[in-house]
């Protein structure tokens, strides 16, 4: 049988596709139809060894190249991604079920931005410092870490492969990337493009695998750093395993972020922000503002307009350019989201709209209606746990101090947002919110120029911006003695 999106082989190692059928089967399923579109194999220990050995062998020569030369290759990869945007976006839609309307503007393009940005700053972002010490002096160098491992989640497979790969390569490292077992396809395309752009073989390797494969990478003695995008429980396991050999780690984990809407806000803009921050990518975005705190005076109007706009969302075939909301990534995720919706109903939240399976789509697809709950209270399960689906919880509040305290009353600290016309208040509030990435009068915009990452249980380390280069390199300090050594003995 010919499968719609079957890659040449499961893994991409040392500049070429590699297969090892001894690995357990990973089926890639198109979430809109339930159809198997590719059949791959998880990496065996031999494949893991092969990928890490290739990376280890290739890295010294790469790090000895001038940063400008490294950057040129990354920028070329950005150009190829843009030229192939349509094809890559269709692949991303098949991999994730996200509508083509989104993938065509948000997925390969954000990966290309990332290669372009890190290609551009490779030459300027890795400089050290000169430290005068009287006659003596010292200088610092920013040096690569060596072999870095990237482990991805399934919501942005191509973007995550680029967000980890670009800064790692710009800083002179080699990477072994393992995509999520739910979305194995996009990263292989990124590896191919990097090599087409002239990346020497062995520097960006992709291996498939699941939760059994990840630890083989994290525990490997030749790996210097692990960057994970995933859930908090996985983050705890990976950080604990990495601690055993004191590896560098970046943790991009989950969230339950507050989005606070004051009664002086532009209400339509705030609704737009709340909808983007709950329904984009069918709600499968870590930084989503899933606890929408609305000041009581505007509650009725906010809910009325939100309901109308939510019910107008076009749900359907992700390959149709008119579709605005696709299915969940997997049957398991669909079930999880539906069970949270049932908990919301059972615990007394008011269902404003949605709350089930849409009736205009095939029963084989993993669809869930965009859902809004009002009268949600802080103790409800849907207000405390990350749902990772199109479920918006609207909570009421009266005053500023109260909403800040309630916004912060969570173990997570990924993101937060504030909508208000009072700019002084906006800055005062974001100053007190405990989160890594915050927005005022907009939500969820993450261009590559700004650092992205979490605090508290949402993780540590930052992706994007100059900050990411620091997380893929370390300082070497050199003290230079300019006179004779004076020894007391
Ligand atoms: P997950 O934690 O189940 O899996 C993430 C990755 O870790 C997968 O590739 C998986 O195979 C791997 N893995 C699982 N167990 C492992 C182990 N013990 N050792 C090494 N690797 C292991 O997450 P998911 O369901 O793929 O993604 C959804 C989660 O990711 C959500 O919590 C979401 O908030 C989070 N996320 C965070 C960000 C961010 O940037 N902060 C972005 C996207 C998603």
pLDDT digits (tens, 9 = 90+) for 437-456: 999 999 999 999 999 999 99
**Pocket of ligand 1 contains residue 388 by CB under 6 Å:** yes
Cβ 415 under 6 angstroms from ligand 1: no
Name the residues annotated as catalytic: 164, 252, 286, 463
User: Could you identify the atom of ligand 1 that is nearest to the CA of residue 178?
Assistant: 9
**Across the beta sheet with 16-18, what order do the strands follow?**
16-18, 11-13, 204-206, 174-178, 147-151, 225-229, 248-252, 459-460
Calculate how far, in angstroms, residue 191's C-alpha sits from the geometric centre of ligand 1. 20
Pocket test for ligand 1, best of 234, 413, 461 (most atoms within 8 A of CB): 234
- Give the mean pLDDT of 162-168: 98
What phi-psi label fits residue 354: left (phi over 0), alpha (psi between -120 and 50 degrees) or beta?
left
Residue in 167, 182, 230, 337 to alter for ligand 1 test, most ligand atoms within 8 A of Cβ: 230
Q: What is the pLDDT of residues 322-364, one digit of tens each?
A: 999 999 999 999 999 999 999 999 999 999 999 999 988 878 8
Ligand 1 atom closest to residue 218's alpha carbon, by position in its atom list = 20
- Whole-model pTM above 0.85? yes
Judged by DSSP in three states, 55 sits in: helix
Distance CA(333)–CA(252), nearest Å, equals: 19
Distance 476 CA to ligand 1 centre (A): 32
Q: Read off the pLDDT band of 61 (50, 70, 90).
A: very high
Bridge partners of 453? none
- The answer to whether residues 112 and 118 touch, using CB atoms and an 8 Å cutoff, is no
- Estimate the crossing angle of helix 67-83 against helix 157-170, to 10 degrees: 160
How far does the centroid of ligand 1 lie from the alpha carbon of residue 368, in Å? Answer: 21
Specify the pLDDT at position 13: 98
Return the exposure string of 305-336: e unless at least 16 CB atoms fall within 10 Å of the residue's CB, then b.
ebbebbeebebbbbeeeebbbbbbbbeebbee
pLDDT digits (tens, 9 = 90+) for 210-233: 999 999 999 999 999 999 999 999
Segment 147-153 mean pLDDT = 98
Ligand 1 center–CA 440 separation, angstroms: 28
Nearest residue to 162 via CA among 100, 105, 224, 227: 227
Average pLDDT across the chain, whole number? 97
Q: What is the pLDDT of residue 360?
A: 83
Q: What is the mean pLDDT of residues 380-386?
A: 98
Spatial separation of the C-alpha atoms in residues 378 and 402, rounded to whole Å: 12
What local confidence, expressed as pLDDT, does residue 1 receive?
Answer: 66
- Contact between residue 410 and residue 244 where contact means Cβ atoms under 8 Å apart: no
Mutate-to-test residue for ligand 1 from 231, 285, 456, highest number of ligand atoms within 8 A of CB = 231
Residue range 370-399: mean pLDDT, rounded: 98
Q: Does residue 348 have its Cβ closer than 6 Å to ligand 1? A: no
Quick: pLDDT tens for 385-431: 999 999 999 999 999 999 999 999 999 999 999 999 999 999 999 99
Among 23, 42, 153, say which to mutate for ligand 1: greatest number of ligand atoms within 8 Å of CB: 153
CA of 419 to the centre of ligand 1 (A): 30
The residue whose CA is least distant from atom 42 of ligand 1 is: 286
**Separation of CA 254 and ligand 1 centre (Å):** 9
Average pLDDT over residues 364-384: 97
Closest Cα to atom 15, ligand 1: which residue?
211
Residue nearest to atom 26 of ligand 1 (CA): 153
pLDDT digits (tens, 9 = 90+) for 231-247: 999 999 999 999 999 99
Q: How confident is the model at residue 482 (pLDDT cuts 50, 70, 90)?
A: very high
Q: How far does residue 152's CA lie from ligand 1's centre (Å)?
A: 6
Buried b vs exposed e over 391-406: b needs ≥16 C-beta within 10 Å? Answer: bbbbbebeebeebbeb
pLDDT (average), residues 45-53: 98
| Whether the predicted pLDDT of 2 surpasses 90 | no
């Amino acid at each position: 049988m010919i499968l719609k999106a079957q890659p040449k082989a499961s893994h991409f190692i040392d500049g070429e596709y590699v297969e090892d059928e001894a690995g357990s089967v990973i089926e890639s399923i198109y979430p809109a139809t339930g159809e198997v579109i590719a059949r791959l194999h998880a990496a065996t220990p031999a494949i893991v060894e092969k990928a890490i050995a290739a990376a280890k062998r290739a890295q010294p020569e790469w790090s000895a190249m001038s940063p400008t030369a490294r950057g040129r290759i990354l920028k070329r990869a950005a150009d190829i991604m843009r030229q192939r945007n349509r094809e890559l976006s269709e692949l991303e839609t098949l991999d994730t079920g996200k509508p083509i309307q989104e993938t065509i503007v948000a997925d390969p393009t954000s990966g290309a931005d990332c290669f372009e940005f890190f290609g551009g700053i490779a030459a300027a972002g890795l400089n050290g410092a000169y430290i005068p010490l009287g006659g003596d002096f010292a200088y610092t160098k920013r040096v690569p870490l060596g072999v870095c491992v990237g482990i991805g989640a399934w919501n942005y497979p191509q973007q995550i492969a680029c967000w980890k790969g670009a800064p790692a390569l710009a800083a002179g490292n080699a990477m072994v990337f393992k995509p999520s077992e739910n979305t194995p396809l996009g990263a292989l395309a990124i590896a191919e493009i990097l090599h087409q752009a002239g990346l020497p073989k062995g520097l960006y390797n992709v291996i498939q695998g699941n939760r059994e494969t990840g630890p083989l990478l994290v525990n490997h003695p030749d790996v210097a750093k692990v960057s994970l995008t995933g859930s908090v429980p996985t983050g705890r396991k990976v950080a604990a395993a990495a601690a055993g050999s004191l590896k560098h780690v970046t943790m991009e984990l989950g969230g339950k972020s507050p989005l606070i809407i004051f009664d002086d806000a532009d209400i339509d803009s705030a609704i737009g922000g709340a909808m983007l921050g709950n329904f984009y990518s069918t709600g499968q975005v870590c930084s989503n503002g899933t606890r929408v705190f609305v000041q009581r005076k505007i509650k009725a109007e906010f809910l009325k307009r939100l309901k109308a706009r939510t019910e107008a969302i076009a749900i359907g075939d992700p390959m149709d350019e008119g579709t605005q909301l696709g299915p969940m990534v997997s049957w398991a995720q669909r079930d999880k989201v539906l069970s949270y919706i049932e908990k919301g109903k059972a615990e007394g939240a008011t269902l404003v709209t949605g709350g089930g399976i849409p009736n205009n789509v095939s029963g084989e697809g993993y669809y869930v209606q965009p859902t809004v709950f009002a009268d949600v209270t802080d103790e409800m399960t849907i207000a405390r746990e990350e749902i990772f689906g199109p479920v918006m919880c609207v909570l009421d509040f009266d005053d500023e101090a109260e909403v800040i305290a309630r916004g912060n009353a969570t173990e997570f600290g990924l993101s937060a947002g504030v909508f208000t016309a009072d700019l002084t208040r906006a800055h005062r509030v974001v100053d007190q919110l405990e989160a890594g990435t915050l927005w005022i009068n907009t939500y969820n915009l993450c261009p590559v120029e700004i650092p992205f990452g979490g605090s508290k249980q949402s993780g540590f380390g930052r992706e994007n911006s100059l900050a990411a280069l620091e997380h893929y390199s370390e300082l070497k300090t050199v003290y230079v003695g300019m006179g004779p050594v004076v020894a007391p003995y």
